[in-house]
Structure 1
Amino acid sequence: MTSPTPAPLPKYEDKSQDLHDLGGDEKGPEPNLLDASAVDAEKEFTVEENRALLKRIDWYLMPIMAMTYGIQYADKQSISNSTLFGIADDTHLHGQQTAWLSTIFYLSYLVFEGPMNYIMQKVRLGLMVLRTLIGGFESCISPGFLMIVASWYKREEHGMRSMIWMAQNGFFAIFTGVVTYGIGVATQNNGGIAAWRSINLFLGGMTSAWAIVLFFLLGTPDEVRWLSPEQKKQAAARIVSNQSGGGGQSEWKWSQVKEAFLDPQIYCYFLISFLADVPNGGYGIFGGIVTKSFGFTSLQVILLNMPGGAMGGSFNVLSGYLAGKYKNTRTYYMAFSMIAGTAGLLVAALLPQEHAYRWKKWGGLLCMSIYSTAVFMGWSMLPSNVAGRTKKSVASTMSFVGYCVGNIVGSQLYQAKDAPLYRPGLIASAICFGLTFVVIFILRFYYIYVNAKRDRQARELGLTVEEMERLGKINGENDLTDIQNPYFRYSY
């Protein structure tokens, strides 16, 4: 694979040259782009004013995004709990048909992923149909939220904010567990409608109701109604320092599409999403059955899943906080989550399937519960490190294609003949986590190499840090990519 060559630094005396001479070959629509003088707009506002605005943004966006991500996760994962309460028997599923309920979800996610991202840039059979619709509608949430974070927050704020809403996968597992346990007990004691039907009706109804709230409150700085015109200007000025362009719309640039497909970092993000989500695709639907095979009842499994949710969500938030506090440490937390995931799965898969080992095997799965940090932290790095509006959209799509394909492959690794432990699937998942660990450090070393090379060129030309930052901001707001912009520095 031949990677695009980063644009060389211009000579010191030529800093005022036309910005697109630095490597860009297409100009976006000027009304949507800030001119060079606008890069100093943030200086018009005091530190106190910026702090107050950030607080207002956080109080509006974080609860909304966290609630949305948690609800969609709970709705999506209802299939896992449903397998514990007889959905396969009631709907006459057999063999690999249960696995296909997960596969069809991610197939529809994959099909809708590209069109949804393009739109954001520009402006049984019954069970199968429902899972397809859920996957299609969900396909815009994760990439859309990453674009929202990039359009509201500075680069150093991306990690913590992204991890807050992504962590709801874990925290809502607790909420879902409580609901599922209550429904399961009520059905067991009183009969009536099947527990798996009640679970899906409740979670699906909650998702539909929340969508109405979301419609009126979420958007980019230009779109929301809860900021004044002056605050919208301030919000736009805040993110100029990202050097990756704003969150607004722009024309589609095919040169940036080509660059994305030649950029090594994009393939690293694709591989991280693919490899780390192979385990998710299988364990996400069969995890309850695996845990039950250790010697627990269905209701006990519901309760035992809650600590894993708490542990996963807490580690996501903690890693986001530490990443914001200590520069260039995100890949370390990603790698650690893969070590824990690999070890945990091997413990669950390889220890004897005997009653005396059930708590040790459950402990392995508990350690594995922090694996999502690698995927989520990787997603939060993408808008920080990919500049150019079209390129960013393509990179996001490629990453989520990896996510979908990984989940599709993972769901088929858990074969009916291997039930209920699914040992081959667990071992294959552990191998994928190990490979993800390797890719994470390849990405880290690539960023270190490119940053060092650009720093060396800047020193040779006598550019100050302030000059590089200003020129980088101008290039970013004129829609130059991270490769075209020689003043861009990667974070890792």
Structure 2
Amino acid sequence: MSERKLITKIDLRVIPVLSVLYLLAFLDRTNVANAAIFGLQKDLGLSATQYSTALTVFFVPYIIFEIPSNLILKRLRPHVWLSICMFGFGLVTVCQGLVQGYGGLITTRFFLGLFEAGMFPGSFYLIGMWYKRSEAQKRYTFFFASTTLAGAFGGLLASAIGKMDGLRGYLGWRWVFIIEGSFTCLIGIIWFFLIPDFVEDAKWLTEPEREYVKQRLRDDQGKSAIERRITTKDILNCFKDYKVFLGGLMYFGLIVPAYGYAYFAPTIIKSYGYSNIGTQLHSVPPWAAAFGFSMLIAVFSDRLRHRFLFAIIPICIAVAGFAILMTVHDNHHTEYGALFLVTSGCYAAMPIIVCWFTMNLGGHHRRSVGTAWQVGFGNIGGIIASYSFEAADAKSFFHKGYSISLAFISLSAVSCVLYLLACMSQNRSRAKTPDVGITEYEKVELGDMNPDYRYML
């Protein structure tokens, strides 16, 4: 089999399965925004602060359990752990549609965050162990773009489900959770048999194919050391590298505007004067545009084998979108158009940043810990985003939320520049320093910190 056919075979098995998994995870995480339009807050008697707190509670276990989840994934194998988590957050979503008050909503949001903690870093970690650095961005972006498809699909689905209001005594917002959660549970059972494991355990590849894939990855990234269990020392050593903290800040800065939009887009769009159903339908096009733009950026990024410019340009586009939203208050068409810039910019830059950082980490140990750290730390921004926008802010044209988003996206831009300079500096330093007295075993243990490794810029 030729290399091209083999990569296509891997693409068809790895990327669609993980993309559907994360699409459903993001849908079940953010459908609370669609439910709010159909009366969730009024029916449960929630104040604006209580609603924001319910959004925030999700991120507490989601942040804490990112790294432990990746360690469990490596030990149990991806198809076991990810399918368990998938069924779990689907079941919790169904329960979210049955709650009777604030306490029940808080509880279900907590467990939703717990079960979803491993989805994103686990999938990114797994994808990174299948592809070379120069070919990973298109795959990462297609996977990540499932969030934009989830946003678009969620709006369409919610507009349809909303018409079930009152069916069997349940309000429309409850059906949003019940139907979407039940579908996730069903897919979770099927996905147990479809989620791919690491290359070394892939039964759907022949032995020669597995060896070929492992060799091409060794040539690109060095040996992975999958056979050794990750220790506490490995985790601590990872945090001795200051670039790890820059990776977290790059993602953290984008999470605030990204989740601010994901959770409050229906509220923002409704302020333009649309009906409930019209609001859901108008939430779809910005997400669809973000999908197309992010894939275009990814294709060029892989073709040119460069990451920095393809992260900073979308960030600038998002900044332009927020600048328009903060200054234009008398033209709803222009404001709505600015939402396209915000979604396209944020959701195109995020997968570039995560891929750039993840694929610059060498070996299973540093990649497992580093990926989970970046996503876990970054999602602290979700807590900030939960309190950034409120329905009452429509009177001030959501100035507070837009200002916060603009500040944090600027932080991401600065962090990207610093990470670029750090990678350039270490590449130059290693080129000048000869490789003296380091064994092959030590290189494997060092991962990307070994003197032969060169970072992608």
Please tell me the TM-score bracket, short chain as reference.
0.7 to 0.9
Aligned twin of 1:431: 407
With over 3 angstroms needed to count, the CA separation of the structure-2 counterparts of 1:247 and 1:314, relative to structure 1, is farther
Distance 1:363 1:307, change over 3 A: same
Are residue 144 (structure 1) and residue 126 (structure 2) matched? no
The alignment partner of 2:201 has SS state of coil
Answer yes or no: is 1:224 the counterpart of 2:202. Answer: yes
Whether the aligned pair in 2 keeps the contact of 1:387 and 1:482 (CA below 8 Å) is yes
Q: Deviations over 1:271-329 (max 9, x none)?
A: 0121111223333222211121122222222122111111111122112211110022x
Describe how 1:58-457 pairs up with structure 2 within 5 A.
Answer: 58-123=11-76, 124-187=102-165, 193-218=170-195, 219-246=197-224, 248-328=226-306, 330-352=307-329, 354=330, 357-370=331-344, 371-414=346-389, 418-419=393-394, 421-457=397-433
Go from structure 1 to structure 2 and tell me whether the alpha carbon gap of 1:374 and 1:245 turns closer, same or farther (over 3 Å shift).
farther
How far, CA to CA, are the matches of 2:128 and 2:211 in structure 1?
16
Q: 8 Å contact 2:34–2:154 — kept in the other structure?
A: no
Relative contact order (C-alpha < 8 Å, sep 6+): which is higher? 1
Structure-2 change in CA distance of 1:207 and 1:457 (3 Å): same
8 Å CA contact 2:24–2:184 kept in 1: the answer is yes
Separation in 2 of the partners of 1:476 and 1:194?
A: 61
Q: Note closer, same or farther for the CA distance 1:250–1:382 as it changes in structure 2 (3 Å cut).
A: farther
Deviation, 1:256, is 3.7
Once the two structures are overlaid, the 10-residue window that deviates more, 50-59 or 240-249, is 240-249
- Deviation, structure 1 residue 186: 4.9
Unaligned runs of 5+ in 1: 1-47, 464-470
CA distance in 1, matches of 2:164, 2:18: 32
Could you tell me how far apart the structure 1 residues matched to 2:153 and 2:259 are? 21
TM (norm. structure 2) is 0.87
Q: Structure 1 vs Structure 2: percent identity of aligned residues?
A: 23
Does the CA contact (< 8 Å) of 2:122 and 2:372 recur in 1? Answer: no
Offset from partner CA, 1:96-123 (integer Å, 9 cap, x none) = 1111121011112012223212223444
Measured at CA, do residues 476 and 358 of structure 1 come closer, stay the same or move farther in structure 2, by a change above 3 Å?
farther
CA separation of 1:172/1:286 partners in 2, compared to 1, >3 Å: closer, same or farther? closer
Shift of 1:477: 7.5
User: Which position in structure 1 is the counterpart of 2:81?
Assistant: none
Contact 2:250 2:415 in 1 (8 A): yes
In 2, distance between residues paired with 1:389 and 1:183? 43
How far 1:177 moved relative to its partner? 2.0
Cα shift readout 1:4-27 (whole Å, capped 9, x = no counterpart) = xxxxxxxxxxxxxxxxxxxxxxxx
Max radius of gyration: which structure?
A: 1
Q: Indicate how the Cα distance of structure 1 residues 406 and 295 shifts in structure 2: closer, same or farther if over 3 A, else same.
A: same
2:294 and 2:223 mapped to 1: Cα distance? Answer: 27
Tell me how far apart the structure 2 counterparts of residues 350 and 182 of structure 1 sit (CA, whole Å).
34
Relative to the length of structure 1, the TM-score reads 0.81
Structure 1 distance, partners of 2:219, 2:276, is: 52
Query: Aligned partners of 2:236, 2:203: CA distance in 1, in Å?
Result: 37
Task: Give me the CA root mean square deviation.
Answer: 2.4
SS of the residue aligned with 1:77?
A: helix
**Quick one: structure 1 residues 409 and 115, their matched pair in 2 at CA, closer, same or farther if it must change by over 3 Å?**
same
Q: How many residues are paired up?
A: 428
Contact kept? 1:343, 1:430, Cα under 8 Å: no
Q: What residue number does 2:5 align with?
A: 52
Following the alignment from structure 1 to structure 2, what is the Cα–Cα distance between the partners of residues 384 and 180? 36
Question: SS where residue 46 of structure 2 aligns?
Answer: coil
- Structure 2 gap ranges (5+): 77-101
